Structure 1
Amino acid sequence: MKIKRCPVVLHNVISTKARCRIDEWDVPARELRNAIVKNGLYGTGPIVYQVYGYDPSSEEADYVFMLPVSQPINMPENGKFGFVREWEHQDGFVLRHADPDDDIEQSYEILRACAHANQVRLQEPFYHIYLDVYGEGIIDIYAPIAQEE
């Protein structure tokens, strides 16, 4: 597995939060994309999401979904959607998690080991950059570096 160290920047990002079963995370992600299209915009990049607050008894977790869009928008504060002109992390590690059937926790451990070897601390939870490649889903896991040790 190849790990890269790089920044990540997205422009004109619309976000939303949802709580759902971990095997149904794609439903609110699709709803975000559909809401964007219904409002005359289009996505200019991949869906990025973060997972936290996992409850094993219900198999549910909290998600934050982000999608860069075609232009800046004026959006009033509301409980459903948010907007930032630029979403950026200056430094982090990225690892491709190519097979969604593989345990993603193993990829997290590889990133943590890389951080330890480089004497840096990671900011968790990590970000998942969902890429649709020939109809198959691939996830790049982005682990922001919190600070040099």
Structure 2
Amino acid sequence: MKIENRSLIFENVITYQTTQLRKDWQEGFYKMEEIMLAEGIYQSGPTFFSVEPERGEAKYGNFTYYLPINNPVQIKEESEFGFQERFHISEAFVLRQADEAKDFHVALEKIQQHAEEKDIAIKDTFYCVLLEVFDDYMIDLYVPLKTEGEA
């Protein structure tokens, strides 16, 4: 498994945020499916999510799920969903998981080790992009690099 340096950019993204058990990471995808069906929204890219550590609670994480769509939409203020015109990570370490490691936490440890060896600071938040390939899923794990002066 090769670690690469890439960016990640999507236009017109529906978002959903929640704090939940890390082991339940798939739950947010059901919410994204709900809004697609209810609103007749057309998905234009892979669904992905970010996980930010929950302070003092290793089993939990702050999750944001992202659904790229074809056109901008208006989201009601009282909705549990949000809308972002543009999602952009300028630079991140990326590791594609195929058959080797289905658990993205294993891939995260490899990226953390790689960053330490290269003496490059990375952020605590990471992103998992789910790619559907022949009725199976692969995960691209993105860990953004810290910019100079970023704590």
Aligned to 2:123: 123
Aligned to 2:82: 82
Aligned to 2:34: 34
CA contact (8 A) 2:104 2:141 kept: no
Aligned counterparts of 2:63 and 2:135: Cα–Cα separation in 1: 23
**Alignment map for 1:51-66 (pairs within 5 Å):** 51=51, 52-53=53-54, 55=57, 61-66=61-66
Once the two structures are superposed, residues 123-147 of structure 1 have per-residue CA deviations (whole angstroms, 9 ceiling, x without a partner) of: 1221011112112121110011112
Aligned to 1:139: 139
Q: What residue identity is the alignment partner of 1:7? A: S
Aligned to 1:72: 72
Once the two structures are superposed, residues 102-139 of structure 1 have per-residue CA deviations (whole angstroms, 9 ceiling, x without a partner) of: 44333112212222333321112210111121121211
1:141–1:29 distance in 2 versus 1, CA, 3 Å: same
Q: TM-score scaled to structure 2, two decimals?
A: 0.82
Aligned counterparts of 2:136 and 2:121: Cα–Cα separation in 1: 32
- SS of match in other structure, 1:91: strand
Q: What residue identity is the alignment partner of 2:54? A: G
Aligned to 2:110: 110
CA contact (8 A) 1:120 1:148 kept: no
Shift of 1:77: 3.3
Q: TM-score scaled to structure 1, two decimals?
A: 0.83
Aligned counterparts of 2:6 and 2:121: Cα–Cα separation in 1: 15
- SS of match in other structure, 1:122: coil
Between the two proteins, the alignment pairs up a number of residues equal to: 147
Aligned to 1:18: 18
Shift of 1:89: 0.8
Aligned counterparts of 1:66 and 1:42: Cα–Cα separation in 2: 13
CA RMSD of aligned residues (A): 2.5
